Amino acid sequence: MAVPSDVVARLTGRAVSEERQVSGGLAEIALADGRVVVVKRSDAPGAARAEAAGLRWLAAAGSVRVPVVHGHEDGWLVIDRVPQGQPDPVAAVRFGRDLAALHAAGAPAFGAAPPGGPVDAYIGLAPMRNEPGDDWPRWYAGQRVLPYLRRAVDQGTLSSREAAVVERLCERLPELAGPAEPPARLHGDLWSGNVLWAADGQVRLIDPAAHGGHRETDLAMLRLFGCPHLERVLDGYQEVAPLADGWAGRVGVHQLFPLLVHAVLFGRGYAEQALTAARTALEG
């Protein structure tokens, strides 16, 4: 197997001066010209390709910044390192405006993969299929909620009786989804750990599960796992692209997808949160 420094030298065309292992699948590599890049390793088929395609698709919108992608090969991905800063309210407002512009860049369909990205992609460590659809409630139920619900039941994380609550919500999605919206260009895994507050005062997004989706899904994930200065982020977003009436009451609907993914990966605690979100949406 290739070593990280060899991969970086090939993909950047630059000599390597130093390598620092960060974790089992992540290393920082200093180049001879003074730049520092990050090299990531994934054994999941197509994961590096999917992440590279997602980052490039987000960058093409010309709004939210992402690390420069130097390339990928055989499960390796090489991107620029992001020098870390501190969360800042001014940067938060700017991030909200830029996120609105990213979403407005659009996608060919709900579930559309980034150009050059695989249909079978990932959200974190979980497989995620990018199967296009033109009706958001039907697509969201069939491609985002129900596949993970079935896996959670098969694993014993949820009972069939509990799963019926989520299934009822899926049946009612056409009336709970709010006004129809065009497919947005989503980051797709927008929890706070993938929002980097850089030293230059700009936010960078990493580790996307990019696809065409509903813009409220990205915003719901920001709220689910916490984001510094979230209200300022939302203020900036609403300045550029006001959200449809009732959006705050739909947050739980959009959180079902990431909660069920986490239930599959990490167990019962997230399954209970998913049930609470579903019951609250049904009662609302």
- Predicted local distance difference test score (pLDDT) of residue 114: 98
Token reading at 144 = 């985002």
245 belongs to the catalytic site? no
C-alpha distance from residue 239 to each of 94, 147, 195 (Å): 10, 35, 20
CA dihedral for 195, 275, 215, 264, sign (positive or negative): positive
Domain 83-284 has CATH 3.90.1200.10: yes
* 205 within 8 A of 196, measured Cβ to Cβ: yes
* pTM: predicted TM-score of the whole model, two decimal places: 0.95
- Predicted local distance difference test score (pLDDT) of residue 25: 83
Q: Which of 11, 65, 36, 12 is nearest to 206 (CA)?
A: 65
- Predicted local distance difference test score (pLDDT) of residue 50: 97
CA distance 50 to 71: 12
Token reading at 55 = 């980052």
Give pLDDT tens digits along the chain (284 positions): 578 889 999 999 999 998 888 887 899 999 999 999 999 999 899 999 999 999 999 999 999 999 999 999 999 999 999 999 999 999 999 999 999 999 999 999 999 999 999 999 999 999 999 999 999 999 999 999 999 999 999 999 999 999 999 999 999 999 999 999 999 999 999 999 999 999 999 999 999 999 999 999 999 999 998 899 999 999 999 999 999 999 999 999 999 999 999 999 999 999 999 999 999 999 97
| Coil, helix or strand at residue 159 | coil
- Predicted local distance difference test score (pLDDT) of residue 1: 54
Which residue of the set 98, 189, 207, 218 is catalytic?
Answer: 189
Domain ranges for the chain, please list them.
83-284
